Structure 1
Amino acid sequence: MPIQRKHTMYHSTVLEADPDTVWATVRDAMQILDIVSPGDLDIHRDVTWVDGASVDTVPARYDFKLTLNGRLVQQEIAARDEINKTQSYRAVAPTSGVASYEATIRVFPITNEPDRSFFDWSRTLEIAEDADLKVVEAIIDVMEQQTDAVRDHFAKTAK
């Protein structure tokens, strides 16, 4: 499928962990980045909170470098709802052909299965006119697999 200038993605999965356990992990940008870029598949490096930010502050800026091309990515937790287990974040500066980026993760209980959760991740990317489409395609390909990485992480910890 060709990349559109405004590219939207939606992924969801059932996780083998209760909502509180999942939320404690995925609300922390450092932990979720570690989960979605493990070891030799690492697409992020040098992940750090910036300007006094932390997992418990909102807004909270964090930076990392893409292993794909060494470019700095600057993102910020823009909103968090602890009760409804929802968090939105966005890019604060364009990079690697992505002019803007917004995403939301949500964790829902499964009523009849309290030890499991429903997880969804929606994203919107606006692609720059002069983007190197091979780099953008590589970034999108990685994003396409990240919800599965979250699922697999909780499947391992459930055993």
Structure 2
Amino acid sequence: MDVKPRYKLHHSTVLDADPDTVWAEVRDVMKLVKIVFADMAESVEWVDGGRVEVVPSRYNFSLLPGHDLVQQQIAGRNEVERSVTYRTVARALCIMDYVATYRVRAVTNDPTRSYMEWTRDIQVADDAAPEVVEAIFGMMANQINAVRDYFAGPSA
């Protein structure tokens, strides 16, 4: 049996926006992809009849500069808990299998702010170069910062 390396990542941040405002933006993964990848993502689109209100729904996007195709699927959405779970449907870069969930929660002592956490379970190709894996994990760590910066107040 060929065992591929697996990793679990967890990132979190406090956002300068209330949970309803954040959720209104990030419940649509198309918007989240554009927030976290900015100009690095192109051709962000629903495929196979997918759309924000349908679960499961598939979507694709390409990452610059190499135009690497990322094919993913919304696997679950919980409006009450403000969470989305999504997964890969095909290998992307050196990632063989990927399941992630992000959640938006209230900050109990400050209703104008929210807490976002993002967990990922990743299986990489056994032939993946360590520096490539490290670069991808660094990119994922920076994605939570991109969300934080997107919702930062004007004084940030």
- Same fold, TM-score > 0.5, yes or no: yes
Match of 1:18 in 2: 18
**Residue identity in the other structure for 2:15:** L
State the Cα deviation string for residues 55-102 of structure 1 (Å, max 9, x = none): 111111100112143221110110010011011000011121111001
State the Cα deviation string for residues 24-46 of structure 1 (Å, max 9, x = none): 1111111111111223xx2x221
**Structure 2 Cα separation of the partners of residues 158 and 75 of structure 1:** 35
Tell me, which stretches of 5 or more residues in structure 1 are unaligned? none
Q: What TM-score do you get using the length of structure 2 for normalisation?
A: 0.90
Match of 2:89 in 1: 92
Q: Percent identity?
A: 46
Match of 2:102 in 1: 105
**Structure 1 Cα separation of the partners of residues 155 and 28 of structure 2:** 20
Match of 2:28 in 1: 28
Residues 45 and 138 of structure 1, relative CA distance in 2, 3 Å threshold: farther
Match of 2:119 in 1: 122
**Structure 2 Cα separation of the partners of residues 63 and 86 of structure 1:** 20
**Residue identity in the other structure for 2:18:** D
Selected match of 2:144 from 142, 147, 150: 147
Checking the alignment, whether the CA contact within 8 Å between 1:97 and 1:136 is kept in structure 2 is yes
**Residue identity in the other structure for 2:88:** A
Selected match of 2:69 from 57, 69, 72: 72
Residues 6 and 157 of structure 1, relative CA distance in 2, 3 Å threshold: farther
Tell me, which stretches of 5 or more residues in structure 2 are unaligned? none
Residues 138 and 68 of structure 1, relative CA distance in 2, 3 Å threshold: farther
**Structure 1 Cα separation of the partners of residues 129 and 70 of structure 2:** 16
State the Cα deviation string for residues 94-123 of structure 1 (Å, max 9, x = none): 121111001000011112211110100011
Runs of 4 or more off by more than 6 Å in structure 1? Answer: none
